[in-house]
Structure 1
Amino acid sequence: MDIETAGRFGNKRIHHRGGPSQAAPDQANNKVCFHWRAGRCNRFPCPFLHSEPNTDGGGNAKRAVTSDDRGFVWRNPNTSGISGPASRWGKGRGGGASGVSRPQRKVPDKVCNYFIGGSCSYGDNCRFLHSWFISDSLSLLTPLQGHQKVVTGIALSAGSDKLYTGSKDESVRVWDCQTGQCVGVINLGGEVGCMIGEGPWIFVGVPNAIKAWNTQTSTDLSLSGPIGQVYAMAVGNEMLFAGTQDGRILAWKFIAVGNCFEPAASLVGHRLAVVSLVVGAMRLYSGAMDHTIRVWDLSTLQCIQTLTDHTSVVMSVLCWDQFLLSCSLDHTVKVWVATESGNLEVTYTHNEEHGVLAMCGMPDAQNKPVLFCSCNDNTLRLYDLPSFSERGKIFAKEEVRAIQIGPGGLFFTGDGTGDIKVWKWLISENQAA
């Protein structure tokens, strides 16, 4: 399911783009070039500053914070769901999610596209940002490089110090969480469509099968039944669910005695491929390429409602408190709430300029819920919930298809080039100042 993106590297840079002034210090220290501020200075060298003064208010230059000493270490992963009190969606867009406004800090929002592409020749003299993100709350710990194609899944195993990543390059890579080094490559002979971790198990969706590994017992299983690629998986009510290319959702029951999985059901209803699944409150929610979301009762495995408000592929579904969130290539994120009759209805629609490819939620360092939206313009946008106030942006060489929450404020992103990045929430925002 390849989705082409347009305008991958954004706007072209202006030809005359001077860096900091090369003039003598006594000429340029205190005066900023008027023409540079207007975006039309073509003098090089220019006798005046081509930058705004960057001080802490007392005349002292600010020192950038690096993350080199923060390391890439964790033990016993334990992912956390997104949670928080119910509130009015989309309110207080200029402030914090709980009605307490945070000081808004003006940060340049023009990231150098040549830096992202790895080819900027201006270096420190570039007038655009050389950064992978814009946020006062995040730190980039380390990149993990090795995959040759788009990363489609990232998973953690309980009780293990390993990170697992899958890609369309037909491999799963195993990373040591202590060192960040790749310690194993598993060649599967087919593109990885998705992967999840549940307890000690790692499940990998490939064409016509699911590979299951128990990281504690070294059990290696292959579950047959899918027709075509497996695009999504979820676990609930002691069953594994898989959304397949032919529109079915297959279910396997876990048998503890034999440490194995037995086929339990085939859920039929979607007309096209099922690409997203999530379990919450004894319901299974499925999003598909037929533009619909289906709601399934986990006790009966019957479809109890079909949601038809989206007008394009439903790329991701997420449970948050008593709400369901869904994102689509129709450029919207929708928030659903149950009515008195028990049916879900849209209570808020957030519009994005570009289609939304993936979605994930987690608490920040202050335990406030934050939504990640991966968009078709190669950005990952962060929003406070429930206000949808923008919290920051993460940039990638190509679209981010995989997002995974880790313990201790860690999270992981994988993009279309095969790059994986490890991120961490800062304990307090002034650490980035």
Structure 2
Amino acid sequence: MDVDEHGNKRVFQRLGASNDSGKQHKVCYHWRAGRCNKFPCPYLHRELPAPPPQQHQPFISNGSSSKRPNQGVHDDRSFSGARRSPNFNPTWGRVHGAGAGNRAQGSGAGNRVFRKIEKLCNYWLQGNCSYGEKCKFLHSWSVGDCFSSLTQLEGHQKVVSGIALPSGSDKLYTGSKDETVRIWDCQSGQCTGVVNLGGEVGCMISEGPWLFVGIPNVVKAWHTQNNTELSLSGPTGQVYALVVGNDLLFAGVQDGAILAWKFNAVSNCFEPAASLKGHTQSVITLVVGANRLYSGSMDRSIRVWNLENLQCLQTLTEHTSVVMSLLCWDQFLLSCSLDGTVKVWVATESGNLEVTYTHNEEQGVLYLCGMHDPEAKPVLLCSCNDNTVRVYDLPSFSERGKIFAREGIRAIQIGPGGLFFTGDGSGQVRVWNWSTEAAAPA
């Protein structure tokens, strides 16, 4: 039993003898936190036990460890929630080989590694960090070796809420809460046009040559090949979500309604087709899969709709905060929420969805995007409320990299040839490229 300088009795297990003469066999609490200013300090400035002679230990810069523990390997845990159905996948959350985890950054002599604190250096962001490579904070927009940042597109002044690449177009479209849509040339990366909409862009999608933009009380539709422009009236309040399914365009609206339009080729216009009621607060996210429409809302629920008759089949209430994003992946539905969880849903024998796995994050989760890496392996991009995007292998949820941003990323769009795009709360759009080689700092 030890007594510290404040007279507190602490019991700890002695893990091995120390080579530090005169020091107590206990690790300094303040050193672990990176703020010990005592010299000499009566406690150890390294982890127990002491290393054997002639053996190198990983070096942690300035005595500070990464704020987030290694998430690359998960326990072989059981799944909770659902009964196993014929299409049940028993491998969600289980490791298939070693995950990359949070990789150490920088290098040192021999086996010594300088581990960066996984936080962007504020001085580097301003272009004037004097520590250079010795800085303990990141001088890079990402960690991991699977992708690299190609360029950034500057111009938006507020949150980027939508990114789209219409079919047959050589332009990238980005929408923002600064009430504009910007048009970018995909070859030069230059902004070739700015459309002022007079209202915040809540969402934006493309379907074939059509570009749809949700703003307060209306959905704007542009045909990018013949320059047709239409306004779809009917929404009450901000339009937060758009999706196309079964030849219908669906819009999730601030008043909790889901409106549907069908395109009439004869009159060359979108005609109102239905209004789906049930949510009690704003509909934030919509996705279509397996002949179903799924809607997530600020009322903390997910509703499952039959695409044929537009009837609600089931209401899912397992989330405890706003449902921010939905994703269909094979026979699974993935959902994320400000409650800090990503839930994986699977259909039981009765046809109802139940949770088969829950992945927990330290922060609320803002957006989900699924894609394949260059080896055609499924990957989940998970945008969190701490200005990062975690990149996970599926179905193991082993972390293989992380993307950083000035503010939270609210829009992710998959492009051709291994490209993808992210838009954050500061208005910055960044272009990324998947690679089998190590990523270089941006």
Aligned match of 2:165? 156
2:397 equivalent to 1:388: yes
2:379 equivalent to 1:348: no
2:377 equivalent to 1:374: no
Whose Rg is larger? 2
Residues 112-137 of structure 1, C-alpha deviation per residue, up to 9 Å, x if partnerless?
33146425532524233200000100
Q: Distance in 1 between matches of 2:63 and 2:90?
A: 46
Aligned match of 1:250? 259
Q: Say how many residue pairs are matched.
A: 355
Aligned match of 2:62? 39
Alpha-carbon distance change, 327 to 40 in structure 1, aligned in 2, over 3 angstroms: closer
Alpha-carbon distance change, 103 to 336 in structure 1, aligned in 2, over 3 angstroms: closer
Alpha-carbon distance change, 172 to 182 in structure 1, aligned in 2, over 3 angstroms: same
| Equivalent position amino acid for 2:93 in 1 | G
Residues 196-238 of structure 1, C-alpha deviation per residue, up to 9 Å, x if partnerless?
0100000000000000000011100000000000000000000
2:276 equivalent to 1:267: yes
Aligned match of 1:287? 296
- Native 8 Å contact 2:103 2:144 kept in 1: no
Q: CA deviation at 1:38?
A: 7.0
Q: CA deviation at 1:39?
A: 2.5
- Match of residue 130, structure 1, among 135, 139, 145: 139
Q: CA deviation at 1:86?
A: 4.6
- Native 8 Å contact 2:251 2:260 kept in 1: yes
Q: CA deviation at 1:258?
A: 2.9
Aligned match of 2:427? 418
Q: Distance in 2 between matches of 1:38 and 1:218?
A: 57
What SS class does the counterpart of residue 191 from structure 1 fall into? coil
- Structure 1 outlier segments of 4+, above 3 Å: 12-16, 100-106, 429-433
Residues 233-268 of structure 1, C-alpha deviation per residue, up to 9 Å, x if partnerless?
000000000000000000001122333210000000
2:104 equivalent to 1:90: no
- Native 8 Å contact 1:381 1:394 kept in 2: yes
Q: CA deviation at 1:272?
A: 0.1
Q: Distance in 1 between matches of 2:201 and 2:35?
A: 40
Q: Distance in 2 between matches of 1:431 and 1:374?
A: 20
What SS class does the counterpart of residue 242 from structure 1 fall into? strand
- Match of residue 173, structure 1, among 161, 174, 182: 182
- Match of residue 114, structure 1, among 99, 122, 143: 122
Aligned match of 1:4? none
- Native 8 Å contact 1:331 1:356 kept in 2: yes
Q: Distance in 2 between matches of 1:117 and 1:324?
A: 37
Aligned match of 2:51? none
2:333 equivalent to 1:330: no
Residues 369-405 of structure 1, C-alpha deviation per residue, up to 9 Å, x if partnerless?
1101111100011100000000111000011011111
| Equivalent position amino acid for 1:340 in 2 | E
The CA RMSD measured in Å over matched residues stands at 2.4
Alpha-carbon distance change, 181 to 338 in structure 1, aligned in 2, over 3 angstroms: same
Q: Distance in 1 between matches of 2:337 and 2:398?
A: 19
What is the percent sequence identity of the aligned residues?
66
Residues 275-299 of structure 1, C-alpha deviation per residue, up to 9 Å, x if partnerless?
0000001100000000000000000
Alpha-carbon distance change, 102 to 430 in structure 1, aligned in 2, over 3 angstroms: farther
| Equivalent position amino acid for 1:292 in 2 | S
Residues 161-187 of structure 1, C-alpha deviation per residue, up to 9 Å, x if partnerless?
000000010000000000000000000
Residues 270-326 of structure 1, C-alpha deviation per residue, up to 9 Å, x if partnerless?
000000000001100000000000000000000000000000000000000000000
- Native 8 Å contact 1:115 1:130 kept in 2: no
- Native 8 Å contact 2:172 2:183 kept in 1: yes
- Native 8 Å contact 1:116 1:396 kept in 2: no
**TM-score, normalising length: structure 1:** 0.78
| Equivalent position amino acid for 2:394 in 1 | L
Decide which moves more: 105-114 or 167-176.
105-114
What SS class does the counterpart of residue 39 from structure 1 fall into? helix
Alpha-carbon distance change, 178 to 290 in structure 1, aligned in 2, over 3 angstroms: same
What SS class does the counterpart of residue 122 from structure 2 fall into? helix
| Equivalent position amino acid for 1:176 in 2 | D
- Native 8 Å contact 2:101 2:399 kept in 1: no
Q: CA deviation at 1:408?
A: 1.1
| Equivalent position amino acid for 1:121 in 2 | C
- Native 8 Å contact 1:114 1:120 kept in 2: no
| Equivalent position amino acid for 1:113 in 2 | C
| Equivalent position amino acid for 1:90 in 2 | G
Structure 1 gaps of 5+ residues are 1-11, 17-33, 42-84, 93-98
Alpha-carbon distance change, 270 to 105 in structure 1, aligned in 2, over 3 angstroms: closer
- Native 8 Å contact 2:102 2:143 kept in 1: no
| Equivalent position amino acid for 2:260 in 1 | A
Alpha-carbon distance change, 389 to 236 in structure 1, aligned in 2, over 3 angstroms: same
Structure 2 gaps of 5+ residues are 1-32, 38-56, 65-87, 105-114
What SS class does the counterpart of residue 358 from structure 2 fall into? strand
Q: Distance in 1 between matches of 2:389 and 2:358?
A: 18
- Native 8 Å contact 1:165 1:172 kept in 2: yes
